[in-house]
């Protein structure tokens, strides 16, 4: 999620911003611009940012305000691609959001009973309906009234023809930062989007804050009752880019500390060397290797030309989808005991195939160290892949997981250790619900 | 506009139907299917039917009900491509329509005041909102209540998960026919769509009729006060395909009669031969040639490979866009007096370039006979190109037009002659508003 | 085949020229340019001219000399797409040709024995090899020596870095004309390519002539023993565009005369009206209709949006490939005796399906008049589709053909009538070998 | 370069093989198959292997023999894409090669004088001509005679309709290995292509060996006078993939030893940590870090979604092309002295921009250690990028280079150290000409 206010190349910069944030959603991308004349312009499509946008799009996206999104829209559901735009009383409104609204279904049913029609399943459309129902109070108070109805996690960006509004739920589940580039203001999910364009990082948008950006500059409101914060710790485990800061701290350093604490917590595991599967566990592996004094090696090489091209598996080749991407260095691995550090185990399918690939390259023993606790519980606050399918640790003990993955050893980081890696204490401002079942906003109440 | 109920290859047949109806809209195409499971599936895009759909789309469009549209959505406004779908109370509704709703803007303003949000400018979305507001009356009565609010011209097709509903406004401005193919019912704007699939023509959907098609078969309602019919006579002049029947009669024969009546009304015009510009005036030219005993020649040859490819004009070639498509047969035209029969003059730009091209090929005299009266007034009932830009005859006399187009003679068919060509009398059930300013539904009243 | 010498937009004009000549080959297209610096530039591809070339290609095709081809290269054989270029002694040569070299295989075997290697099966490559073997005599004498070895039909265009050379075999099988546009010279298969760019027609390249075009202007050589001419009469039956002149006379008028002579030769055939299948037989049908006083009707309507898009046939629709393109006007055809005028019957498959389509539309009797004699013998001089597959008239009598095509009557134009249509006598300068087995250059002698 | 003999999915396996070898050439790819019927089939194109080939190509590439290439064909020169095929005496021959033929120009001039024509500038076409000139001696002796004329570096694969022939020049400049998969034989430039398909590595093709593979199995000839070997050491520095073995030894381990020897040779360089620019110097950096006991960090993060999409630089962003791919971890780098290990400096442009990017992220001191000696001399044996443009070390001293690149220190590995990294002594069987100007085959002699 990226937005910029006050730059003549707003669309192009939004494109670069989304490009830097591509890891947050690879299936769809969209940019809407406003601020030139009465209308707005947009381009959306399925695919990577670099696939959806082409050079000649930018001349068709005028305006000094832009707002964009990368997401997980399912195939064909073009209408679901954010940002979401409407015309209301001859004015344009465009909304982008991340997160999850727990009482969405019940709010939707209520609106339908009152004659509203929905064209998508998205929370964006829902929020836009709520806003329209309160617009008679004016935009500012109407937005506050609409957001007051929501139970859930959200960072949202609302663009009108002459302003940009950012809002973050009072618990601050998901990250959103504010930056500046020349006279323009930028809002982005992670700081790596600012780095790409040499923009200056100003601060986080605060939980419960509504930030209005327009010709007069910035104006901040905090209209909601303050609540205990619940920053998503999974951003530090897997989601965010290592070169980003989220929730005000650096991801690379947090991951490296996860490795160091893994070393503290598992002093007896031995091996010829430590490695990771490219690239997610690499930073923890470096921390672990340094803390234990065990050499770090790149035991598996990634083919950098894999791209996104769909290549049919061959009937002649086993585990093709892994092999096409990764090849163990046989001379390194053959006959050795190795430690593999990985960030997390979600469904376990990827790690399983990679372990097999190391086995076939001749590894004698494979010991896995996971830089987060067993991931057992679904996320309702925006990490969608933690809600779909079966979580390996949800239905299997560590012992069973080890056997299923054909590992010789398997150790997880403790929840306390994970909190320490982000320099937080117990009961800190983080959400660890997927690890500890401690939901800041329980989903059960909504089952009506 | 095409829909089919009750065929296992519904999407593919809708594709063929739209293909046959391509002349009714070349800028966008869409098909939505339903009837398998709870959901619906769709494919839409900018371009010709054959560009939007590919073989592998059909496996992704399951269901025995399909409904499709070809239209004039402006570039980029993907959301405006019909059919228009919503989910309401966990049910899907898909609407397709042709025509024009005169009180659309005021209905829209009223709905927005009550908190509705609009994502497009389309009449389809408007009707869907009206339907949703009345759904508490049930689908059948709700639809009647919604349609009762409309002032305008419409043929609409409404698809639910287990039924197909067709409705036509009480004046019957636009054509809609009912056909049958095996056990399936088909609704189409013109009969040429039935011909393509060897479907049997059953009858026209009547003005003011609502037709319900579902597992129980057909059911017809006529809930509206009957009004004098106003069939669009422009369908016979230009819009419909010559091999189609619309409003119950054949287009080819009507056009040929236009040529015969032109001959009657203009007995003194002489020439070496009569010709047309491919292909619109050809049928009237044949009728004229036979009635007058003047030979018919193909004086201009069309390049059949023009396709839709955009080819840049050359700085070295004058009137390139005409030349790339049409080339006069110089040996035929050089030094001759020729009669050119054309269907109508709208803005006059196309005919002007074509006349120039005949001049450069050496034609001595060029006399134009137009198979319809001077077209002076905008259409509000769905012939969009009669509403945009300047109508040549709206601001110029026949004499001026003749000079502007560099013609040696210019004659128009009379309004009475045009009515005779469709075997109708004065005050018959036809709308000639674009020719005679006699609007069945005056647009002025809506200017509030 | 098109070439231009001396125009700054040479590539673009070659593109337009090929576009006008698209009917002579729809499977591949290529343009090579020269005259700027030492090198040459090219673009080739499978598909229509408008599919192969895009606006941005022209900036990559500099030079004031261009030469292009449209052809029938079989799928995938990219290397076979003309023009054919080589580098020889640091100079570029590019060759384009139409026709057929009868002693090609034996010349090729001889060259291979001497160590030549071939990358394609094309006659162009063969001629280039022969030229290279004689280049020690200089370009002019070397070309004469190379052409002297050929037995066959050819029009060829040879482009060097500073000149353009055209050559036509002494019998003049295939057409090639010379035109002028400003200071540039143009060579083209048909005059319609000149018309498109308002170029002036100068004359035919004569049989046996070699024409050199360079900075000094035109220079003509006639180094070969004169032979009786043998212009391909099939150009007037089917191949050339009606608005073109080939071999110095107009195609439209010749086809109309074919219809008139058909009328003379078949005075007893009666019908309600005469029609053609769009578009090939239309001109003869007009001639026939006028001569007999039988009305001409467009009994079958062509869908102008068919394009080249490949559309899968439906299992639910018979004769789909015909229906998707053509629809009979049922109201016209039903219950009537109709005369269909067609240009020729080659394999008979297309006409058969079209006759079926008229039958299903209710035609009572269908009588076919063919504007050429029965086509019984293969062509070795460049009309490739007369050499492939079985010719209907080659193995069936007229009576059998009539039954196989489900016709009520079938009449062919006589060979004498065909000659009269091009205003020629018996023993005139035309090749009718496909009709009368009288080969100007017998192919048998080459079977070694 | 990849070939397979005797597998029913030959084309698909060639595709995978080329995919694994993509790093050896990213601009063009081609596969030719044979062994089914008399003909051969091919697919070639500009772009990555995954862009050129699609699933449906494989059904059009039948045959149990396949041979493919990835290369650097310049834009548009489709004809230059290898493999190169000809038909000679009704037999197909397909040739693929890597390397460089020093006496190519003089051989070519001689052949042209004898009447040969060339369609490309490639060495493949030249060798095919030489082969054709000697084919009267039979294929085996003809090939030996043709190869005997060549002065240069080559690995070549020659495919006929029923056999596959591999040949390597007597000095063995470039790598070529032999593998086995079920009953099929594989020839590949690097072993990573074997790993992908779980094929067994058998041995290197030996310098000066010609290997015939056909239905009878393998047959080896060594018809050339043995010469001192000259394996390209740059394969170990940069060219080959780290998980490959080339010239019989592992690349990863050699690179790691380069880092260890760098550590030995530069004991006094100090820093907070060592890093590399992803990914080329990483393995040496790991070796260096371990040997010196200085921590290894990933100081720069690669955006994995860069792909090959061309993204226009923004006028608002400096050093855009670097930033779009790599982002320094500011929290890690800011204020620190860092050691950057890189594999080599060729023209110096890439490293310069990357150093700038570290500076802007706040690095206090940047010290570069290069895992190879200064690269001063062009390569004539197939490493094309060492022959084009200016080599930084060719015209600048180490001191100057350091200043130009804005480095605080710059150290190179010694030539002796590089030889030690591949476990070789002085005067070993390696070519270090680009480093030491000691050309095994001097290019000068050919300047005639």
Q: DSSP for C74-119, please give it.
A: PTT-GGGPSSEEEEETTEEEEEEEEEEETTHHHHHHHHHHTT--BS
Contact list, A129 vs chain B (CB under 8 Å): 115, 117
Select the residue from A93, A117, A130 to test the B interface by mutation, using most B Cβ atoms within 10 A: A117
- pLDDT at res. B425: 87
Give the gap in angstroms from C-alpha A51 to the nearest C-alpha of chain B. Answer: 17
Q: Name the phi and psi angles at C277, rounded to 5.
A: -90, 125
Enumerate the residues of chain A whose CB falls inside 8 A of the CB of residue D286. 296-298
Q: What is the pLDDT of residue D446?
A: 45
- Sheet-wide strand order for B152-159: B84-88, B91-101, B152-159, B163-168, B210-214, B217-221
Q: Which of D286, D158, D138 is nearest to D211 (CA)?
A: D158
Q: Residue C448's pLDDT is what?
A: 42
Residues A130-141 have pLDDT tens digits of 999 999 999 999
pLDDT at residue B119 greater than cutoff 90: no
Do B101 and B154 form a contact (C-beta atoms < 8 A)? Answer: yes
Task: Name the residue of chain B whose CA is nearest to C326's CA.
Answer: B196
Please give, rounded to a whole number of angstroms, the shortest distance from the CA of B53 to a CA of chain A.
13
Token pair for D447: 């300047």
The fraction of chain B above a pLDDT of 70, given in percent, is 95
Mean pLDDT of chain B: 92
Over residues A235-258, mean pLDDT: 96
Chain C interface disruption, residue of D33, D45, D117, most C CBs within 10 A: D117
Chains D and A make contact, 3+ CB pairs within 8 Å = yes
Beta bridge partners of D274: D296, D339
Q: Which residues pair with B93 in a beta bridge?
A: B86
Cis check: omega of the bond before A83, within 30 degrees of 0: yes
* C399 reaches B (C-beta below 8 A): no
**A117/B contact by beta carbon, under 8 A:** yes
C-alpha distance from D140 to closest chain A C-alpha (Å)? 33
Chains adjacent to B (≥3 CB pairs closer than 8 angstroms): A, C
Tell me the residue ranges of DSSP E strands in A57-199: 65-71, 84-88, 91-101, 152-159, 163-168, 177-181, 184-188
Residue A76's pLDDT is 45
Chain D contacts in chain A segment 190-249 (CB below 8 A)? 192, 195-198, 241-243, 245
Average pLDDT over residues A227-233: 97
- The pLDDT of C407-418, averaged and rounded, is 98
CA distance B297 to chain C (A): 7
Of B48, B296, B317, the CB nearest to C198: B317
Which residues sit opposite C245 in a β-bridge?
C250
pLDDT higher than 60, residue D447:
no
Tell me which residue of D259, C187, B29 sits closest to A295, measured CA to CA.
D259
Nearest Cα residue in chain C from B47: C305
With residue A32 as reference, give the H or E element that holds it.
strand A28-34
CA-to-CA dists, residue A231 to A168, A370, C62, C262, angstroms: 12, 21, 61, 89
Average pLDDT estimate for D271-295:
94
Q: How confident is the model at residue C317 (pLDDT cuts 50, 70, 90)?
A: confident
pLDDT at D119: 85
Which domains, from first to last, does chain C contain? 2-227 (3.60.20.10), 253-436 (3.40.50.2020)
φ, ψ (nearest 5 deg) of residue D400: -65, -45
CB contact set of B80 (below 8 Å; sequence gap of 6+): B28, B73, B74, B120, B121, B122
Of D111, D93, D116, the residue nearest D101 (C-alpha) = D111
Residues 6 or more apart in contact with residue D433 via CB below 8 angstroms: D377, D379, D381, D439, D440
- Comparing alpha-carbon positions, the chain C residue that sits nearest to D42 is C76
Q: Which of A398-402, D79-83, D316-320, D379-383: highest mean pLDDT?
A: A398-402
pLDDT of residue C387: 72
Residue range A262-278, pLDDT digits in tens: 999 999 999 999 999 88
Which one of D115, D126, D142 would you mutate to disrupt binding with C, by most C Cβ within 10 Å of its Cβ?
D115
Task: Check if C325 contacts B (Cβ < 8 Å).
Answer: no
Average pLDDT estimate for D172-199: 96
pTM, two decimal places: 0.84
Lowest mean pLDDT among A386-400, B372-386, C332-346, D305-319: D305-319
Ranking A164-173, A252-261, A298-307, C118-127 by mean pLDDT, the lowest is A298-307
CA distances to A314, B338, C367 from C280, rounded to whole Å, are: 49, 24, 17
Chains that touch A (3 or more CB pairs under 8 A): B, D
pLDDT (tens digit, 9 = 90+) per residue, A387-433? 766 899 999 999 999 999 999 999 999 999 999 999 998 888 999 99
Cα(C247)–Cα(B216) distance, integer angstroms:
68
Distance from CA of D339 to the nearest CA of A (A): 17
Q: Which of the two residues, A92 and A212, has the higher pLDDT score? A: A212
With beta carbons under 8 A apart, name residues in chain D contacting C115: 114, 116, 129, 132-133, 135
Q: Do A19 and D324 touch (CB under 8 A)?
A: yes
pLDDT of residue B445: 54
Of A158-167, C29-38, D145-154, D432-441, minimum mean pLDDT range: C29-38
Q: For residue range A65-77, what is the model confidence (pLDDT) as tens digits?
A: 999 999 886 544 5
What is the average pLDDT score of chain A?
Answer: 92
C304/D183 Cα distance (integer angstroms): 56
| Contact status of B88 with chain A (Cβ, < 8 Å) | yes
Q: Which residues contact D11 (CB under 8 A, 6 or more apart)?
A: D31, D33, D57, D58, D61, D62, D63, D66
Note whether B279 contacts C304, CB cutoff 8 Å.
yes
Q: What number of other Cβ atoms are within 10 A of residue C423's Cβ?
A: 11
- pLDDT higher than threshold 80 for residue C182: yes
Q: Do D129 and C117 touch (CB under 8 A)?
A: yes
Q: Please, where are the H alpha helices in C246-327?
A: 251-265, 282-292, 320-323
Alpha-carbon distance B195 to B197, whole Å?
A: 5
D395 has pLDDT over 60:
yes
Nearest CA to A177 out of A169, A18, A186, B250 is that of: A186
Q: Do C314 and B9 count as a contact with CB atoms less than 8 A apart?
A: yes
Residue A397 CB contacts under 8 Å (≥ 6 apart), including other chains: none
pLDDT of residue B73: 62
Q: Which residues of A touch D51 (CB under 8 A)?
A: 309
Share of chain D above pLDDT 70, in %: 95
In sign, the C-alpha dihedral spanning B310, B314, B319, B323 is negative
A157 phi and psi, to 5 degrees?
-125, 120
Compute the average pLDDT of residues C391-398.
94
Answer whether B320's CB lies under 8 Å from B291's CB.
no
End-to-end Cα, chain C, rounded Å: 32
Q: What is the pLDDT of residues C212-246, one digit of tens each?
A: 999 999 999 999 999 999 999 999 999 999 999 99
C-alpha to C-alpha distances, C414 to C226, C262, C419, nearest whole angstrom: 30, 8, 9
Using the beta-carbon criterion (under 8 Å), do C50 and B196 form an inter-chain contact? no
Kindly tell me if the per-residue pLDDT of D388 is higher than 70.
no
B42 touches chain A (CB under 8 A): yes
Q: Do A129 and B114 touch (CB under 8 A)?
A: no
Write the burial class of residue D279 (CB in 10 Å: 0-12 exposed, 13-18 middle, 19+ buried): middle
B74 in reach of chain C (CB within 8 A): no
Mutate to test the interface with A, among D329, D362, D423 (most CBs of A within 10 A): D329
- Burial per residue of C294-311, b for 16 or more beta-carbon CB atoms within 10 angstroms, e otherwise: bbbbbbbbbbebbbeeeb
For C278, the closest chain B residue by CA position comes to B304
pLDDT at residue A187 tops 80:
yes
Per-residue pLDDT band for D37 (boundaries 50, 70, 90) equals: confident
pLDDT of A45 over the 90 cut: no
- Taking CB atoms and an 8 Å limit, are C112 and D132 in contact across chains? yes
Residue with tokens 């909102």: B129
- For C197, which residue in chain B has the nearest alpha carbon? B317
- The answer to whether C293 contacts chain B (CB < 8 Å) is no
Q: What is the mean pLDDT of chain D?
A: 91
Chain A contact probe: residue of B116, B127, B139, B149 with most A CBs at under 10 A: B116
Q: What is the pLDDT of residues B211-258, one digit of tens each?
A: 999 999 999 999 999 999 999 999 999 999 999 999 999 999 999 999
Q: What is the pLDDT of residue B448?
A: 42
- D145 touching C, CB under 8 A? no
- Cα gap B434→B235, rounded to integer Å: 12
> Could you give the count of Cα atoms lying within 13 Å of D17 in the half-sphere of its Cβ?
31
């Amino acid at each position: 999620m990226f937005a910029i206010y006050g730059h003549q190349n707003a669309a192009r910069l939004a494109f670069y911003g989304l490009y830097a944030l591509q890891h947050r959603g690879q299936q769809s991308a969209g940019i809407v611009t406003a601020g030139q004349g009465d209308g707005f312009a947009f381009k959306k499509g399925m695919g990577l940012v670099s696939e959806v946008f082409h050079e000649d799009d930018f001349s068709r996206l005028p305006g000094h305000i832009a707002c964009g999104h990368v997401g997980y829209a399912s195939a064909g559901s073009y209408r679901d691609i954010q940002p979401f735009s409407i015309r209301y009383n001859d004015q344009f409104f465009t909304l982008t959001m991340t997160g999850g609204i727990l009482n969405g279904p019940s709010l939707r049913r209520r609106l339908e009973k009152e004659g509203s029609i929905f064209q998508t399943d998205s929370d964006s459309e829902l929020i836009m309906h709520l806003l329209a129902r309160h617009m008679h109070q004016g935009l500012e108070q109407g937005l506050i009234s609409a957001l007051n109805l929501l139970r859930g996690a959200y960072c949202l960006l609302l663009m009108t023809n002459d302003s940009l509004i950012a809002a973050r739920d009072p618990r601050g589940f998901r990250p959103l930062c504010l930056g500046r580039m020349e006279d323009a203001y930028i809002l982005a999910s992670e700081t790596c989007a600012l780095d790409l364009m040499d923009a200056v990082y100003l601060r986080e948008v605060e939980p419960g804050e509504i930030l209005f950006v327009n010709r007069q500059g910035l104006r901040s409101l905090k209209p909601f009752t303050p609540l205990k914060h619940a920053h998503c710790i999974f951003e530090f485990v897997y989601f965010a880019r290592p070169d980003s800061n989220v929730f005000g701290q650096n991801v690379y350093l947090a991951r490296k500390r996860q490795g160091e604490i893994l070393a503290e917590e598992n002093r007896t595991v031995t091996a010829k060397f430590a490695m990771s599967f490219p690239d997610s566990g690499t930073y923890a592996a470096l921390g672990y290797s340094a803390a234990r004094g065990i050499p770090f090696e790149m035991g598996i090489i990634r083919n950098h030309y894999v791209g996104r091209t769909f290549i049919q598996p061959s009937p002649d080749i086993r585990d093709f989808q892994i092999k096409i991407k990764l090849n163990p260095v046989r001379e390194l691995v053959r006959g050795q005991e190795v430690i593999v550090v990985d960030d997390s185990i979600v469904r376990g399918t990827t790690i399983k195939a990679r372990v097999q690939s190391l086995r076939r390259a001749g590894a004698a023993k494979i010991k896995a160290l996971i830089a987060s606790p067993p991931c057992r519980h679904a996320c309702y606050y925006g990490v969608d892949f933690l809600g779909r399918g079966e979580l390996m640790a949800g239905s299997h003990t560590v012992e069973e997981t080890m056997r299923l993955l054909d590992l010789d050893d398997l150790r997880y980081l403790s929840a306390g250790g994970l909190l320490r890696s982000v320099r937080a204490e117990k009961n800190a401002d983080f959400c660890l619900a997927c690890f500890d079942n401690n939901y800041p906003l329980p989903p059960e109440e909504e089952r009506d």
